[in-house]
């Protein structure tokens, strides 16, 4: 059952919020083989559900997500709940406030079911580097769910909850959505508040959404967006209507099919992207091929810029303000002890960030400018661009090389600050394929129109491993 259907049932009284959450908790227990959960508090979730039922009984109107179970990534603040971002360095950190997007979800009636496993501090593409151990893909337990929001995508794909909230810096929502066969949205930067999100690379970090269909994606985005006085990078609510965009046919949409010399996806993945473009064309979209060169250079630029910003952001982890108190007689010793708790990948990226000199940083910024100019140039003539989300289907858990290249097609939209949506379209060897749509700034309407049209085509996605009862 979709989030929209669940909320309608709870508002109508045909199902209680407690019943919905009890069933979701049972599915959560059944999904234990995925190792996708960082933490959950059943009593708190049931108390939130009971409060919704009491409000309905008192005649109060409930919000658009009434009783809907939601998974939060373990890097989003929820006051009084440990937020470790899957890192030993943040064990014992209980945030003093709740992330703005989480407050808005609760105001819409959503119930926080659990916190999803992730790569430590958001650094990774396999959800393999976590203090909780590696998460697994619900379509094949030998494979990765992607990262760094892998636990969230796995739980949505397995039917545990219809919505998960993650973060996307270089593709951390879209890439796991692709590998798990669900929908993942990175909205235009500024639409969603970053207040209460543990920072990785602040110039590119955004909150993102994972669901099983475009309608739930639009509803969830709609209740979270808007200006936030706690985050000065946020923008006012746009005038568009996503519910209308979902019903519009793609007729007349101008779609650029990206041709990327030197950065091709696996042929079987590219074939599914071609099939999606052909489906849009058959429904009246105007599709033509456009060249986008420099993707390998853009990935290197993203890696460098992310490392520099991460090293700066993690300087605050000094053993005095976050997590367990560090050992040592002075501030320097305490900082060394605190940072010794970082995992190998985090240390590697921090060292890389400190090692990047001014000249290399300037070159990375120049490469970011070139890819941004190229994408914006194509979007001057197209409503959206279409390409693979990832070069391959889900990689095996120990395939570090596939993880390194997993952001090849997702990083450009992050560098350019443009919205992007990954949708499942087709199957290769029993594993889902993700197709990525990239739009203009605040051009989510076109993305949702195209995604909903392709969703109505009924593109086959394999069933996840059984964790019944499903939604």
Q: b/e string for 172-199 if b means 16 or more Cβ within 10 A?
A: bbbbbbbbbbbbbbbbbbbbbbbbbbbb
- Are the beta carbons of 237 and 226 closer than 8 angstroms? yes
CA neighbor of 182 nearest in space, from 170, 164, 197, 169: 164
H-helix or E-strand containing 37?
strand 37-39
Residue 88 burial class via C-beta count within 10 angstroms: exposed 0-12, middle 13-18, buried 19 and up: middle
H-helix or E-strand containing 425?
strand 420-428
Active-site entry in 89, 125, 172, 414: 172
Distance CA 101, CA 95 (A): 15
- Are the beta carbons of 118 and 38 closer than 8 angstroms? yes
Backbone angles phi and psi of 178, in degrees to 5: -65, -50
Active-site residue 148, yes or no?
Answer: yes
Range list of H helices, 68-190: 100-107, 150-157, 174-180
How far is C-alpha 102 from the geometric centre of its chain's CA atoms? 15
Task: Show the beta-strand stretches assigned E in 275-396.
Answer: 286-291, 384-388
Residue 23 burial class via C-beta count within 10 angstroms: exposed 0-12, middle 13-18, buried 19 and up: middle
Active-site residue 73, yes or no?
Answer: yes
Distance CA 179, CA 182 (A): 8
CA neighbor of 431 nearest in space, from 142, 202, 135, 73: 142
User: 197 - beta bridge partners?
Assistant: 76
H-helix or E-strand containing 408?
none
Active-site entry in 16, 73, 130, 414: 73
Active-site entry in 16, 87, 148, 167: 148
Active-site residue 136, yes or no?
Answer: no
Strand 111-116 and strand 69-73: pairing? parallel
As annotated, the active-site residues are 73, 148, 172
């Amino acid at each position: 059952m979709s989030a929209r259907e669940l909320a309608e049932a709870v508002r109508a009284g045909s199902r209680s919020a407690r019943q919905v959450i009890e069933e979701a908790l049972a599915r959560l227990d059944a999904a234990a083989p995925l190792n996708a959960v960082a933490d959950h508090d059943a009593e708190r979730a049931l108390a939130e559900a009971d409060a919704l039922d009491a409000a309905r009984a008192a005649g109060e109107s409930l919000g658009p997500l009434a009783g809907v179970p939601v998974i939060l990534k373990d890097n989003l603040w929820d006051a009084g709940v440990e937020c470790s971002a899957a890192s030993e360095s943040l064990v014992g950190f209980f945030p003093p406030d709740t992330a703005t997007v989480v407050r808005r979800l609760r105001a819409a009636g959503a119930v926080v079911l659990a916190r999803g496993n992730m790569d430590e501090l958001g650094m990774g593409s396999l959800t393999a580097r976590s203090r909780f151990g590696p998460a697994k893909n619900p379509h094949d337990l030998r494979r990765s769910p992607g990262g760094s929001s892998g636990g969230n995508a796995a739980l949505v794909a397995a039917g545990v909850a219809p919505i998960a909230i993650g973060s996307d810096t270089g593709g951390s929502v879209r890439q796991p959505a692709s590998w798990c066969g669900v929908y993942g949205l990175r909205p235009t930067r500024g639409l969603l508040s970053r207040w209460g999100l543990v920072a990785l690379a602040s110039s590119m970090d955004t909150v993102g959404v994972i669901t099983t269909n475009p309608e739930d994606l639009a509803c969830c985005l709609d209740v979270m967006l808007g200006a936030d006085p706690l985050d000065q990078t946020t923008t006012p609510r746009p005038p568009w209507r996503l519910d209308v965009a979902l019903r519009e046919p793609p007729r007349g949409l101008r779609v650029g099919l990206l041709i990327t010399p030197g950065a091709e996806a696996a042929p079987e993945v590219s074939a599914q992207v071609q099939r999606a473009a052909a489906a849009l064309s058959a429904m009246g979209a105007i599709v033509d091929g456009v060249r986008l060169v420099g993707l390998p250079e853009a990935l290197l630029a993203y890696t460098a810029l992310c490392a520099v910003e991460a090293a700066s952001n993690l300087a605050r982890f000094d053993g005095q303000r976050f997590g367990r108190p560090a050992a040592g007689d002075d501030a320097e010793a305490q900082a060394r002890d605190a940072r010794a708790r970082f995992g190998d990948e985090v240390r590697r990226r921090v060292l890389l960030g400190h090692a990047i000199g001014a000249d290399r940083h300037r070159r990375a910024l120049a490469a970011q400018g070139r890819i941004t100019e190229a994408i914006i140039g194509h979007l001057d003539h197209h409503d959206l661009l279409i390409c693979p989300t990832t070069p391959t289907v889900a990689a095996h858990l120990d395939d570090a090389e596939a993880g390194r290249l997993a952001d090849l097609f997702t990083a450009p939209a992050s560098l350019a600050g443009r919205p992007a949506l990954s949708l499942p379209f087709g199957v290769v060897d029993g594993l889902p394929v993700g197709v990525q749509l990239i739009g203009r700034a605040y051009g989510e309407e076109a993305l949702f129109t195209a995604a909903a049209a392709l969703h109505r085509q009924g593109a086959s996605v394999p069933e996840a491993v059984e964790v019944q009862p499903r939604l």
